[in-house]
Structure 1
């Protein structure tokens, strides 16, 4: 029901709802029983806006020509000492996480979520956003993802790698600076 509300209601309520889940006594008790810990990245898009919630070492990229010209592809910051699980950021007196909101640019926007396995693969084939984006030039999303996964497998990637990638064609004007 939260996602079916207006844009303002959704973006106001999502912060509260996610924190409510991660700080609930039931969730925290379940986490204490888990062996190990993990990172978490949640991304929501509604209309021409995205919202993200990040704990740990996952990355959200937003590829668009206007952003590329400014070298601004990475949306969130990696945080090496945040986790959810047996060791849990939400067990601290002050939980540590990051979240934010961003307006999509007009035209084709490419949202790309990944774990650290991709960018830390031996040989560093994807340590820079431009190397990832290059795989999608004149290729379908599926073909580009298959190519990326085959490359890191052939280079004996050490960590597991999760990737979520999708495109949003925004036909609405985006904010521009005034002159």
Structure 2
């Protein structure tokens, strides 16, 4: 079975006043370019989704550019051009695949060729890469996109957001990988037993205010495609100006995750 692949950037289809949601294998992609009545006139987001159900893994990329979407296009082109190499890394023994993926991506982003291409474009982008394999979730983050892990054991302890949003950090004309010490964050988390819902979102969704987090928490208890579709439609009805792009999928696991040693399970 061939992997399901979707790649998109905002200048090809802007989705102004037109929220749309599509299924990608067991994942969901929601896109909304913002309300023209509120002043929206372009969409500079981007997304890349690579889902291989047979190999039990997902690799996704979310981009939120500004000025133009040239920086999003550039990152997408490099990731897409390296798809076969990345696929090979993701199928390596799990003990080493995430570290090897990190090293490969860092080598790509710090290469002279990539940095020179960045100098020739207009604008910059936030970039959130995320990979799930077996019961582990790995991410690589530049900028202010959002990564959520929704599970009742974590929600009960107040944990939903996995990454830290970082401002003044981009890839593009102003490029963190052109610095003497590139600034980015990365992490890996063990998922919980049962149903885990993973959500990536651009920060346009934060125009919802506190209601955004409440809607995120509800995604675990509803049909995921319908939940994302409803969120995109309500974003339009609320007159949100900024574009909103969301990638979500759920994973059902039956492993035995970590618990404190003094807790009987």
TM > 0.5: yes
Structure 1 outlier segments of 4+, above 2 Å? none
Q: Decide which of 85, 103, 108 is 2:172's aligned counterpart.
A: 85
Does 2:215 correspond to 1:154? no
8 Å CA contact 1:44–1:51 kept in 2: the answer is yes
**Displacement of 1:133:** 1.9
Between the two proteins, the alignment pairs up a number of residues equal to 175
In structure 2, distance between residues paired with 1:57 and 1:109: 23
Does 2:253 correspond to 1:133? no
Match of 1:113 in 2: 200
Across the aligned residues of Structure 1 and Structure 2, the Cα RMSD in angstroms comes to 1.3
> Any stretches of 5+ residues in structure 2 without a counterpart?
1-87
Q: TM-score, normalised by structure 2?
A: 0.64
Q: Which has the higher contact order (CA 8 A, sep 6+)?
A: 2
Does 2:121 correspond to 1:34? yes
The DSSP-based 3-state class of the residue aligned with 2:229 is: helix
8 Å CA contact 2:128–2:140 kept in 1: the answer is yes
In structure 1, distance between residues paired with 2:235 and 2:109: 32
> Any stretches of 5+ residues in structure 1 without a counterpart?
none
Q: Which has the higher strand share?
A: 2
In structure 2, distance between residues paired with 1:120 and 1:146: 17
Does 2:132 correspond to 1:45? yes
8 Å CA contact 1:135–1:147 kept in 2: the answer is no
8 Å CA contact 1:135–1:148 kept in 2: the answer is no
The DSSP-based 3-state class of the residue aligned with 1:70 is: coil
The DSSP-based 3-state class of the residue aligned with 2:211 is: coil
**Displacement of 1:75:** 0.4
Q: Decide which of 184, 188, 193 is 1:97's aligned counterpart.
A: 184
